[in-house]
Amino acid sequence: MLSPDNTVIGFIGTGVMGKSMAANLLSAGYELAVYSRTKEKARELLDKGAYWADSPKAVAEKADVIITIVGYPADVEEVYLGQDGIIENAKKGAFLLDMTTSTPTLAEKIFEEAAKKGIHALDAPVSGGDIGAREAKLAIMAGGDPEAFEKVVPILKVLGTNIVYQGKAGAGQHTKMCNQIAIASNMIGVCEAVVYAEKAGLDPENVLKSITTGAAGSWSLSNLAPRIINGDFKPGFYIKHFIKDMGIALEEAGKMGMEAPGLSLSRSMYERLAEAGEENSGTQALYKYWSKQQ
């Protein structure tokens, strides 16, 4: 059993979500080796008892379970498949959990390359933003070998509350695309509703009291609309990363011969914001799209 008594976890990626996820693992008693491109981003974790590994190779050599949550598919590929990467240097029998939102094709490749070395790889992207990461209430959608999944469930339960095995390698990433597609159009509606309330002379906070519990209710409406009203556009999830995710989803939809008009519209709106310098803002900054039109 992968318990805190006998398991060293390696954690790569200490950004907005990763830092809180790693902190929860420390709080659960796991020994933790961390790596990020900028050591200072891991400072808070090091102060809490994690120890520093100066490369993905160093993480792989020490850890029984390695969790990654990095930026882009290119980062995932470098961390896992590079000469000094995880698969080349991980212990036989190690468990690899990529929690980045990446491509299903890359997830399948990592699974296959890991299997050649007797290593268990799972794609396990998450949803829930900075709030879900901090409160250990993430939704985790996993793909890979079902037996490997069952063995890492105790660790996943430290990070999230909705943990679902979706199928073979790549299935977790495909499920995350479904998640992002649903969010993409929903965020347009959330922001448009707040703008409408303001233009109608209503108190947006009072409007939320009525609409968050009705048929319009959603996670984004309940958690991000209040941030919009308070002028808080700090990232729980970066616009630049959401644009990346929407690009993956559109590419996968195209492979299946599927049109995705809502997703296409959302991406075009977010791209306009990114061009205006909002790429490092949170996704709720879509609200600013309307001001850019004035």
**Per-residue buried b or exposed e for 166-199, using 16+ beta carbons within 10 Å of the residue's own CB:** beebbbbbbbbbebbbbbbebbbebbebbbebbe
The structure tokens 């061009």 sit at: 275
Beta bridge partner(s), residue 121: 96
Q: Which of 57, 62, 176, 244 is catalytic?
A: 176
DSSP structure class, residue 168:
S
Nearest Cα to Cα of residue 290 among 181, 199, 183, 204: 199
Nearest Cα to Cα of residue 197 among 206, 188, 184: 206
28 phi, psi to nearest 5 deg: -80, -5
- Active-site residue, 199 included: no
Q: What is the CA radius of gyration of the chain?
A: 20
HEC secondary structure over 192-208: HHHHHHHHCCCCHHHHH
Residue 162: how many CB atoms within 10 A of its CB? Answer: 13
CA-to-CA distance for 66 and 54, rounded, in angstroms?
A: 15
CA-to-CA distance for 71 and 15, rounded, in angstroms?
A: 9
Active site residues: 176
